[in-house]
Structure formats: C-alpha cells, structure tokens
Structure 1
Amino acid sequence: MLTLTVLGCLAVGSGAGLAGGLISCQPTPTLETARPLSPAEARRLAAMRVTNYQDGRVGLRATLGLAGDEIEVTGAVDWGRELIYLTVTGPGAGEHRGLLQAGPGLVATRPAPATGRTPARPSGPATTGRPTDDRDPAAGTTAGARPPAGDPPAATRPGPTEPPSTEPGSAEPGSAQPGSTGPASTEPGSTQPGGTEPGASDPPAGQPATGDPATGDPAAEEPATDNPATGDPTPGEPATGEPATGKPETAGPGQTGPAGGVFGPPAGAPGPVVAEPAGPPREAATAAAEQPPVAPPQDGWRVRRMGGTGTEVNPLDSFLALIFAAAADRPDRPEALERSEARWLGRDRAGGATVDVLLGPAVSQASWDSGPASPTPTALTEMGGAVRYWLDSDARLHRIEALLGENVPVQVDLDRTTRPEVTAVAALGGLPVLPRAVTADEAELLARLRPTNLDQGGATVALTVPTVPAERLLPGDGPTVNLRGAGWVNWYGGNAYLAVHDLDEPTERLLLRADPAGVAARTVRREDDAPAHGADPPRDGRPGAADLPPLPAPIDRAWSYRQWPERTDRLGGLDLDLLVSEVLSLGDQRAGDLAALRRSAVWLRRDVVAGQKVTVFELPKPVEADTPRGQARMRYWVDRSGLLRRLELRTRTGAFAQLDLHPGQVPELPWVPTN
C-alpha cells in the first residue's frame, strides 16, 4: 500500500515534510459545531479502509483544481488489486489528457491525440465483467473470479449527487452497543507492482483464450467438470494454491442492508448539514464525463514512476496516492482515532445515502503508528494530513475532499452501486493469474519448447521495455526510459539483430548484434539508417519496416563489443540484455528436463497474443528457487504447438517488458564484430 512517501510530497511549498505531515492536505473545518469523534464514529472511521479493500471495485469521478483550470478524471478503482483506470480530461489536463492506469508506485499513460479530446463515451460508470471463460483446466477455478456483488440494476441507481439532508436524525436508524462487531482483519494477498497479476495481455478486449476442448492440447483443453464457485479441482488433477491476486470481495464489515448499519447512529444526532467547503463545486465532479474504454488499448502506453524524482509532484500523482491510501487490509485502531484530532463535521447526503462527514487521517495506521514502544500521534499532520470523508452507516466511503497542494482542491465521488471490472494493461501485469504446478502434459509441452523453436529457424521480434536509464548504452536521463525495438533472432545461426530507441529520443536508435557470447552495439541517427529491405506495412502485430534495423548493417569502427558479463551493473543484467540473451537461448536441439519442469514450472493463466491462443507459464531460474509462485521475473507465452509467442520480464521499474515473436523465415543476419 502507498504510504507517506508519495503523499508527503503533497506539502510542496508549505514547509512540511514527512515529519510534519500533509499540511496542504488539510481542509479547514468551517463548522463551529465540529466535535471529537464518538466511539461509534471512531469505529466506523477505523473500518473505512478495510471496507474499501474488501469491497474491491467502485466507479469514481473527481475534479482537481480550481474552476477554469480543473482536471477531471472518470473511471474506476480496484482496491483489491491496487489498480486505478481513468480517463483524464478538463481544461487543466494539458499533457495529462488521455488514458491513465496506476498500480503501486507506477503510472502508465496513453496520451490523447493532439487534435482533441479522447472519444466521448457514455457518462455512466463502466459496468462490465470479463465476458470470457479463463478457467484453469487443472484447477477447475476461474482466474480472478469474484462472487456476484448483488448490485442493483442500473435503472435503480441513485444519481451521483443528492440534495443535502435537512431532516434531523436521518443518518442511521440502527443503534450499536459498546463492543459492536467491527471488520475482521484480513491478511493481504501477495502483491507486486501491477497487482500480482504479471503477464501482459494482448487479446482483443483484454480477454483470455478459452481453448479448444476438441484438440486435447494442454494449451487449449478446457475441463467439462469444475466448480468455479468453490475452486474444487478437476478430478484427477492437482489442487491449486491460493490465487495470487485473490482479495475477498465480501460485503463490508457488519453490513445489514438498507435498514441501517451496525455502527449505530452518530453521537450528537440530530446534527447539522455540513457546509459546502471551498473548492470545486460538487456538480463539476459528477457531471457527464468521458469513461475509459472497457478494454484498454494495448499499444501507445508509457510508464513512469509515481511521484517523480524531484521535489514537486504533479496533482494527478497526489490524487492517485490519496485514492490508494483509502484502502488497507486491516482496520485502524478506533481508540487512536478517538484520541486524535479527527472530528465529526456534520451530516450530508452522498451517493443516495445519508452520511456523516468526518475529518480523519490521509493514510492508514500502518503508515503513522510506530508501534507500542512509541507514543501514538494525535495530530493529523503526523498521520499523513487531514481529509474529509463522507461515510455511511456501514463504513462505506462515498466522497473525499482534500487539498493536494496550494490551490489544488480535490473532490472525489465514489459510485458504490457499480463494480466495474478493471483490466491492467500489459505494462502493469495484464489479466489476473492463478499460479499452480504444471500438469504432466504441460511439462511435456515446455520440454519441447527449445526444439520446437529451433525447427522454425528464427523469428521477427518486437520489443516494449520500460526500464531505468543505462547511460553507457542508451540515451536518456529520466527516471524511466520507455524503449521500443524490433529485429530478428536466428536460432540456426545463434544470433540476433535489433534496433532499439527511446520514445523520448525518436531520432536516435541503438543497433544491437548479439550472440551467446556478447553484444556489439552502436548508435545511429534514424535518417542515416533508412531501411533498404522494403516498406511492408505492419500486419498481425509484426513490426513495420521503419522499425526494423537496416540491412546491410553498417560496417565501420563505431561498433563497440562487450561480453555479457561486462554489460552488468551492481543490480545484475540490464533489462534489455536479459530479454535478448534469454530469447537467444530458446532455440536448441536439446529437450528440457521433464522431471525438473514438473517440480519448478508454474502455470499462470490463458491469454491471447497477436491472435494466437497461448498459455502463460513461469520457469523460475535456479536463483529464484525460493521465490513464491507468480513472482519470478520471466514469463513464457507458449501456443498449443509449443512455440514461444511472447517473452515477458519484470523490469527494474516494477513494470513488465514484452518481447513478441513471430516465428518464420528471417533474413541473413550480419555477423557480430568483436573488436
């Protein structure tokens, strides 16, 4: 979960750092009636984050900034997978206009065309499930499956805004006794950047392949008898472990339905209606806006680290940090909140419910509680800063208001009547995974991987690599470098020839000529290496002629050769090098060790890439023997014939890189100069 590291950057210009909390994140209460929290209110505020975590997915709309220069965002958050998906618009959007996805510490953006706004879409929140069957034939479970939420039909959903309540005592008809049951603490699932769903997807509409039972192939077969609801394995197949990404999606703590919550009415009821705070008007955050497409586009994404590298953080990153911080896998301690500067501010209506407006800490207790040996802070500035929360009787959050910096108010409205499915783009992990041991047939398929590739002779390849700068190899001095590349691998000849460029340096390319011993590299300007091998347009996901390296290759003294060990640094092999060296090794006459594959290989999920149905596997390296399933760096996308279609790498940034392969005839590649 995000902590003070990113949120602390919101206090730019205020003189406050991590020690002082988020001064600029603290809206000033305007009501003289503001008072300390009652025990029931403290329990409800303490349960808010775990309720969000358990509920998982909600739609959201938000407005950042002042009128006339505001940024509007619309989309959804999946707190269970730690994933946000938004369309960014508004007069203040500027270079941020377009699509955005975010995971822990990472932001992927797809800028809108410079000619205008992204295409308009219906204003209602996206309400889709994944319309595919991605069941695991060996486990009999649905990868990433979640129980039905019981949401009301769209026609009965309340509007995004409601008139303020003027009726005293209308918030919570129920009453809680001391010691009311709070939310159960749940341990977090195993999460990595991009959720724990590594393995990028490239199917139409982000859909996994379902396979073909008629073929009997392990990459296609689907069982006829399984129980996705219970997760019982198919008879005769090994049982699975726990889903790497499964988070409980039960109702919130103590939910009793529309009659009222178990937390009881707020102390002091009847209370005043909270005054409208300064900042963007409510109608701005709930007006019709552009929804992101249900299936995110698979191309055009750039990756960066959240928060930047300097002292200034853009408001969108501050907003994302605030949304992530609204969920946690366990409740806060009510007694700590009751003793703190948290306050009850009043009563209001939001999301069709009567709610209490509470002033509370911006981040969870785990971020500000130093343990029993240290005194518990009471000032909200020491608890991440202060935020206004609109909470109903079941600790469900409907609205957030805060200041993200000087003159950057934010209002967030959550639509809890919808549970939009959020599919991560390839860089953030793609579809969910459900790691398990491979079956005997799957191990045999993997054992044939190298000979099957070798039979093809070679492949045209395309690269997408979000990584950190390597100054001695590539241009760029930013915190993240987004590389694109294309070329060929020749398994018969044991060499590869690639052209790679940084998206921020489009006129300069790096040419790589690699073999099992090392790499020769040189830079060229794009106008100097115009390809002489035709101008075929891209098809079936293949790179176009303009992306491929020039043939014949330049022959001069500009080439610099290094053996693979010489290209490492203190962290080991470079991301680009790991992909290239691995793909070179995947064409060999020798079959894999079947027994070793049964012990170590991991089935992750079904997917589709370039129109080919594949199974995504993990083959941990010896140094990863103790790595939990689903967390190894390499992923292998293998089709039903045993051909490798994609090689995927968890990079140093935490995002995922892809090397896509199109097996077939390749041109004669230049030899690798060694001096």
Structure 2
Amino acid sequence: MESSSQPPSDSRRRAPDEPRTDPTRAGAPAGGGSPGGTGHAGPTGHARTHTRRHRAGTRHRAGLAPPAVLNLAGTAPAPPRPGVRRAVVSGGLLDLAAGNRAEEEDLAGATAEAHDPRRVPDRRRRLTLAGLALTAVLSAVMLVATLVNWAPDGPPPRDLTPAERERLTTMRVTNYRELRAGLHVTAGAGATRTDLLGWVDWARGLAYLDVGGPGAGASRGLAQATPTVLVIRPDPTAVPTPAMPPLVPPADGWRLPADPDLAPLLGLIFALAADRPDPADRWTGRWVGREQLDGEPVDVLEVVTRNAVVPASRTPGAGTPDTATPTRYWLDRAGRLRRVLADVTGIGPVTVALNRADRPTLRPVEALGGRSGLPRALTPAERDRWRRMPSRLRTVGGATATLTMPVSAATNLRGSGWLSWTSGSAYLAVTDLDTDARRTLVRHHGRQVTRIDGSGSARPPLPPPAAGWRAGPHRTQAVDPLVAAALRAAQHPDPRGGTERVRGDSLGGTSVDVVQVDTGRGPLRYWVDRSGMLRRLELPTRSGAWAQLDLTPGRVPRLTPPRKR
C-alpha cells in the first residue's frame, strides 16, 4: 500500500552542496526511468527503491559524486550548478603517478604573473623599505659611536690656584727624589720626526735611549748622555721604529756625535729634575683642563717660566731649550709629572711621556766613566798591590795596547800597537773615524814623540819605518798624555796626589780595582787586577768623555828606534 506521507523522490530536500542533477541516471534512456521512455516512475515502492539506488550511485561520504578518476561511475559527473563553487579533489592526491593539476596551472601562470605591471610597484616598495632600514641602522651606529666618544665641555681655563702653584714648584724635586722613570720622547712631525725611547736617571744624571724615527739620520741607534756629554753608538741598519734599548749596553762602538741635534732634547729631559724647590714666583700660567692618563686624573697646567729651566744642582749642556714659550705639564694630585708638551726652537713640538713604573738601574758606558761606585780609601791589601805594581810591570816587560779616545765631535780616535816597559817605548797606529779613517803611526821613546801620516791596516807595520818621522803638533796628539802615563806607571811606585778606590769592576772576566789618582791635569784611573797587573788606564778628554787604553800583558816586538849610522 502506498503511503501518502512520503514525498516523491524528485521533490526530496537536497543537501546544500549537493548538485542539481537530472532525475535520470547515467546509462538510462533519455526519455525517462523506464525502457518505455514514458518518463514516469513505477509504483511507489519501486520508485523509493530506485531513489535509494540513485543516491547510493551518486554520493560518497562527503555527499559529492566520486571523481571520474576512480572509475566508479560509468559516466562523468554532471557539471556543477552555475553560481555554486565546487570543491575539487586533485587526482594527483589519489594517484601518485599523476601530477597536481592545480599546482601545474599555478606554475604555468607564474611567468605570466611576473610580467604583471602590478608587481613593479611592489618591487620598488620593497627596495625603498630596505634602503630606509639600512639608513636607520647606520644612523644608530653613528649615534652610539658619538655618544661613546663625546665628552662634555669642561670648565674654561683659569688662573693657577695656590695648591697648583705649589705642585709646580716641587715637581722637579719629586722627579729627583724618585730617581728614575721611563721615557718616550717625540720631536717634530712627519718626515722629520725623531723618537727617543728609554730611561732617565735624574739622581745620577744619566739618560739611556734608543733613537729612531724617520728624522733620526746619523744618530739612529743607541745613545747615552749626562747633562754635559752625549755619546752615541750609530746603527744605520736599525729599523726606523724605536724599541727599548738593552738593559746591558754594548761595550764598544761608542763615540761623540758630529751632529748636535739631540742636545736640545736631552737638555729638556735633564731640566725636569732638581735637588731643591724653585721659587714660588717662578711659575706663572693657568689651569687649562683635566684628563685621564693611565686611569688616573691629572691636571693640565700651562706655564711660562721667567728663565730657562736649569737644574739647581748642575749645569746642563748648551742645548738646554729656551722655555719662554708656554709649556704644558700633566701633573697628578701628588705632584708627579706624567707628560710635558713644549715647543723647542729649531725642532718644533716636543712631547715627553713619562712611565713612572718603569725604573731599572742604568749602567753608563765606559765612555761616560762607567758606574759611579762608592769612593773610599785603599785597604792595606789594596795599597800593597798598588805599591808592587811598577815592579810587576817591569817583570812582565810589555803589553799589547788598544786605544779608544772620544776627543771631540770632530775627532774620535781608535788605535792599536804595543808598549814596552823594559825600554820605555810605545808604537801605535792611530785612526781618526771622522777623517776617512786615515792612519797615523805614533812612536814614544823617552820624552820624544814622532809621527808618520799615511794609510794602511789598523795595526802598525813591523819593523817600524826607518825614515819619515816628524815631531810637533798633530791632530792625534790627544793620545800622548794617556800613553805617557802608561809608560810612567812602571817607574813611579806612588804617583803624587790623592789616591782612592772608586769601585770594583770586571774586565775580560778578570776582577779589578779601579783606583783614581788626582793629578794636576785631572783625574787618572788605573784598573789593577788582584795580582798587581795594570789592565787599563783611563783619563777624561776635553769633551768630558773618558778615553781608555786597554793592556794585555805579553811579549812585544823590539820597539827601540833604529841606531844612527
């Protein structure tokens, strides 16, 4: 029996996403659901069964017809209803061998979209944003760098306070009492700049420096100086960049410089110390600022002194700079000097930086007299060796002699030869380093001194020439007092004048006593070993440097003059 409450199959309520399809199924005649083509359904029960079959054949779990790729239906699904967007399942998702049609369509259209005029403004917009971001980053970096290096303006310059003036008056005494300090001196600028690196001992009046920089010239190498004497050890092969000199200076190669360019710089260095305070009214100037040096606050004081700065206890060399121009001093709260900036005539700006923590003990070279020592009277054993020295020299007979004599800036003599205490004769070949190394033969016999100018090797020829000897003044006559004193040492047991032991020393691995005798012509030093043998004789030259005559005892050739026929 047919129920009247059941709606007909073609008027059922469709799902929202169910497509509107023809009531006829695929494979049925176009005219209807029966082979007769009437287009009407059969009985009600038969129509309901047919409708259920129709639904089962046209729907899957999502309520849509299965895709054609599954071959579940005999014909392709009906086209979607116009105006309704249908979900598409790509066949590539179900068939791994097939491609993704939607993706292939997107890739195929990518080239066409790249030429789309709408993408050009997008590209320009991205470039503009990138440029703005880069500009912002650079601005931030510059701002941070400026803030790090920026310092607020300090107070303006003002007159010196009484406390600051007091620090200036005691500054040089503080340097003198602290004895030593490291130095870094920069003189001039550019291609004429000279750098000096080393130490100064204000208490003993000694500076030891390495000279470098593009403007060093012939002074490049090592230098040692007292307030009155400067000696250098030239090294033309040294690199322009200066370095700290060796603590133990070389023993040989020292000479007086021909160029006095370093004298003003040394005068400025030695003028920074004195053994008594300056007058309070000597310093006039102003306070110009405050800085940090080596982590400590310092005051920058600009002053003008009435006279040149001269140590109160000694007279510096002629190169002491004129300090009439303003000079700046960097002083800490304790009155210790850290830096000096001065304008030296003929050189330009000169900066002296002091390292108060670098304070080694300095040893002067022999050209400056060697170590000062502690002079004292001779002990009985030392006096006994001193008295036996003449007989000891006559017993040995003679010695090989080596001469080193810095006479003046234009005369630096070197020589070698022999001394005979038995005959009282000496025969030397002397060379002047500043006159193209010309050689002069010098003979001493008794009180007569003769010479022959010429050329040849450093050692004198043997036998001595028989003719050509001349007496009289000569540029090498500065060696005569030293050679004569060496010959007299074998004749007088006790030279006149005060005698004292200056210090103990070592020469060629042999321990010696340095005995100084004050003569009418100046001090004379004898280096005597523990056996009573004379090893060296020293005396100062007119330049203030010390000359040495080293003696090696042994057999010597016959040095008596040829007999007259």
**TM above 0.5:** yes
Return the offset for 1:547.
2.3
Return the offset for 1:31.
9.9
Q: Is the 8 A contact 1:575 1:652 kept in 2?
A: no
1:485 aligns with 2:415: yes
Give the counterpart of 2:274 among 316, 328, 332: 328
1:667 aligns with 2:557: yes
Give the whole-Å Cα distance in 2 for the aligned partners of 1:619 and 1:353: 50
Match of 2:530 in 1: 640
Q: Is the 8 A contact 2:309 2:323 kept in 1?
A: no
Match of 2:93 in 1: none
1:427 aligns with 2:367: yes
Give the whole-Å Cα distance in 1 for the aligned partners of 2:339 and 2:226: 21
1:518 aligns with 2:448: yes
Q: Secondary structure at the match of 2:370?
A: coil
Q: Is the 8 A contact 1:34 1:343 kept in 2?
A: yes
Give the whole-Å Cα distance in 2 for the aligned partners of 1:38 and 1:673: 84
Q: Secondary structure at the match of 1:427?
A: helix
Return the offset for 1:384.
4.3
Match of 2:394 in 1: 454
Question: Structure 1 416/523 Cα, relative in aligned 2: closer, same or farther at 3 Å?
Answer: same
Give the whole-Å Cα distance in 2 for the aligned partners of 1:348 and 1:62: 20
Give the whole-Å Cα distance in 2 for the aligned partners of 1:53 and 1:650: 26
Give the whole-Å Cα distance in 2 for the aligned partners of 1:95 and 1:366: 28
Match of 2:178 in 1: 55
Return the offset for 1:610.
2.0
Which residue type is aligned with residue 390 of structure 1?
W
Match of 2:351 in 1: 411
1:442 aligns with 2:442: no
CA deviation string 1:612-666 (max 9, x = no partner): 2111001223x37xxxxxxx52000000000000000011111100000001100
Question: Structure 1 452/359 Cα, relative in aligned 2: closer, same or farther at 3 Å?
Answer: same
Give the whole-Å Cα distance in 2 for the aligned partners of 1:363 and 1:464: 43
Question: Structure 1 673/416 Cα, relative in aligned 2: closer, same or farther at 3 Å?
Answer: farther
Q: Is the 8 A contact 2:423 2:560 kept in 1?
A: no
Return the offset for 1:507.
3.7
Give the whole-Å Cα distance in 2 for the aligned partners of 1:412 and 1:328: 17
Q: Secondary structure at the match of 2:439?
A: strand
Which residue type is aligned with residue 527 of structure 2?
W
Return the offset for 1:115.
3.5
Return the offset for 1:58.
0.4
Unmatched 5+ stretches in structure 1: 1-29, 121-288, 370-380, 469-478, 527-545, 625-631
Whichever of the two has the greater Rg, that structure is 2
Taking only aligned residues, the RMSD between alpha carbons, in angstroms, comes to 3.0
CA deviation string 1:219-257 (max 9, x = no partner): xxxxxxxxxxxxxxxxxxxxxxxxxxxxxxxxxxxxxxx
Q: Is the 8 A contact 1:86 1:101 kept in 2?
A: yes
Q: Secondary structure at the match of 2:526?
A: strand
Return the offset for 1:386.
2.8
Match of 2:302 in 1: 359
Q: Is the 8 A contact 1:62 1:411 kept in 2?
A: yes
Q: Is the 8 A contact 1:496 1:669 kept in 2?
A: yes
Give the whole-Å Cα distance in 1 for the aligned partners of 2:155 and 2:181: 33
Match of 1:117 in 2: 239
1:463 aligns with 2:403: yes
Unmatched 5+ stretches in structure 2: 1-152, 313-320
Q: Secondary structure at the match of 1:445?
A: helix
Q: Is the 8 A contact 2:431 2:438 kept in 1?
A: yes
**Higher share of residues assigned strand:** 2
Q: Secondary structure at the match of 2:243?
A: coil
CA deviation string 1:547-567 (max 9, x = no partner): 2211122222x31135xxxx6
Match of 1:550 in 2: 461
Return the offset for 1:387.
1.5
Question: Structure 1 576/31 Cα, relative in aligned 2: closer, same or farther at 3 Å?
Answer: farther
Question: Structure 1 343/580 Cα, relative in aligned 2: closer, same or farther at 3 Å?
Answer: same
Q: What TM-score results when the alignment is normalised by the length of structure 1?
A: 0.56
Match of 1:393 in 2: 333
Question: Structure 1 353/442 Cα, relative in aligned 2: closer, same or farther at 3 Å?
Answer: same
Which residue type is aligned with residue 45 of structure 1?
L
Match of 1:534 in 2: none
Give the whole-Å Cα distance in 2 for the aligned partners of 1:636 and 1:363: 46
Give the whole-Å Cα distance in 2 for the aligned partners of 1:328 and 1:368: 5
CA deviation string 1:566-588 (max 9, x = no partner): x699xxx9641110111111224
Which residue type is aligned with residue 560 of structure 1?
R
CA deviation string 1:276-326 (max 9, x = no partner): xxxxxxxxxxxxx51100100011111148xx6xxxx62x32211111111
Return the offset for 1:405.
3.4
Q: Is the 8 A contact 1:351 1:416 kept in 2?
A: no
What does 1:142-161 correspond to in 2, within 5 Å? none
Match of 1:96 in 2: 219
Question: Structure 1 290/43 Cα, relative in aligned 2: closer, same or farther at 3 Å?
Answer: same
Give the whole-Å Cα distance in 2 for the aligned partners of 1:115 and 1:368: 36
Return the offset for 1:34.
2.5
What does 1:565-576 correspond to in 2, within 5 Å? 575-576=478-479
**Higher share of residues assigned helix:** 2
Q: Is the 8 A contact 1:322 1:362 kept in 2?
A: no
Question: Structure 1 362/512 Cα, relative in aligned 2: closer, same or farther at 3 Å?
Answer: farther
Which residue type is aligned with residue 324 of structure 1?
F
Return the offset for 1:364.
7.4
Give the whole-Å Cα distance in 2 for the aligned partners of 1:400 and 1:357: 9
Match of 1:561 in 2: 471
Question: Structure 1 93/336 Cα, relative in aligned 2: closer, same or farther at 3 Å?
Answer: closer
Which residue type is aligned with residue 469 of structure 2?
W
Give the counterpart of 2:250 among 297, 301, 305: 297
Give the whole-Å Cα distance in 2 for the aligned partners of 1:70 and 1:42: 33
Q: What TM-score results when the alignment is normalised by the length of structure 2?
A: 0.66
Question: Structure 1 552/574 Cα, relative in aligned 2: closer, same or farther at 3 Å?
Answer: closer
CA deviation string 1:75-102 (max 9, x = no partner): 0000111111111122222222111111
Q: Secondary structure at the match of 2:471?
A: strand
CA deviation string 1:173-218 (max 9, x = no partner): xxxxxxxxxxxxxxxxxxxxxxxxxxxxxxxxxxxxxxxxxxxxxx
Q: Secondary structure at the match of 1:454?
A: helix
Give the counterpart of 1:497 among 404, 427, 430: 427
Question: Structure 1 87/641 Cα, relative in aligned 2: closer, same or farther at 3 Å?
Answer: same
Give the whole-Å Cα distance in 1 for the aligned partners of 2:276 and 2:445: 51
Give the whole-Å Cα distance in 2 for the aligned partners of 1:397 and 1:327: 10
